[in-house]
Amino acid sequence: MRWAFLGIGRVTPRMVEAVRLAGHEVSAVAGRNQDALRAWCETHQVSRSTPDFRSLCEAEDIDVIYVALPPHLHADLASYALECGKKVLCEKPLTASTEDSLRLRSVAAKFQNQFRHASAFPFHPRSQAMRNIILSGEIGEVTRVTFSCSFSHVLERGRDYRTDSAAGGGCLLDLGWYCALATEWFTGGRPQIIQALGRKHPEHRIWMSAQAIAQLDMGAFAHWDCGSDGKARSELVGENVNQEAKMIETLWAPNQQCVDVLGLTEFGFHAQETLAKWESKLIDGDQA
């Protein structure tokens, strides 16, 4: 398939490699900074570029749109690409607001088999084995699950949406996504009650850390811990190029799917709902 990338952010070099490893083609890319876009194209040997995101959504020689922009831009462009008849792979989090999430979900429902989110950990054989063991009941009843994810130096990166609350920055949407998605994907449970505590940056007003305890509808408790104020860590199977290539190979190939991708897509929208609930319960520990 012929891909167009919307955005040239930090995640895109790895995704270029994954798309090509899966046997697909990166045909075009769009970005707002022309100097950065030119350098990106030279590095990744992509000859076609434009500052016009929508023109690639409309292009007849493009099959898949990869939305790798700040979250506040996702809903409009992903929706437009779907309406232009394209398959869409959207980076997480899907959106920066509940309103945008509902809007995107409504459009995606009209093109049910076209929209996917770019969370690769479910495609790892170890993740699948863990999930099968849990859901089979082999280890007994699930009473407690813990997920954590963090990285550091976000404030030292220079221009980065993660320091802009209006663009969907902060650790809650960026890293809490993994906690929310993994909880439902591994256990089948959705949170009913959430209690949460975190810490906001005094200047940027983004969440630097966010913790929560949630009671799931299956009765188990989920403990979540995410932050951009500590060293990098993850209690999930790490994502890598080979894993992402496997994801790309199977997203729109029903005969090759090792994961229920439609169900996973729905879990992604559930994760957005969970993140909204989580944020509504968050108390800034420095202000308490």
Residue 261 tokens read as 């991708």
Does the annotation count 86 as an active-site position? no
Compute mean pLDDT per 10 residues along the chain, 288 residues long, and list them: 96 96 97 96 98 98 98 98 98 96 97 92 90 94 93 73 88 95 96 96 91 97 90 58 87 77 94 97 79
Per DSSP, 117 falls in state: E
Please report the domains of the chain, with CATH numbers, ordered by start residue.
Answer: 2-117 (3.40.50.720), 121-284 (3.30.360.10)
- Looking at residue 235, its pLDDT comes to 54
Q: What SS3 state is found at 114?
A: coil
pLDDT at 256: 63
Q: In 49-170, where do the E strands start and end?
A: 49-50, 64-67, 87-90, 115-117, 144-150
Q: Return the ∠ at Cα 106 (arms to 101 and 110), rounded to 5°.
A: 140
Given CA atoms 113, 119, 124, 130 in this order, what sign does their dihedral have? negative
pLDDT on residue 140: 94
**pLDDT at residue 151, as a whole number:** 81
User: Which sign does the torsion angle of CA 21, 149, 209, 231 carry?
Assistant: negative
Q: Catalytic pick from 87, 92, 200, 277?
A: 92
pLDDT of residue 194: 97
pLDDT value at residue 243 = 79
pLDDT of residue 233: 59
Closest-CA residue to 17 (of 39, 35, 43): 43
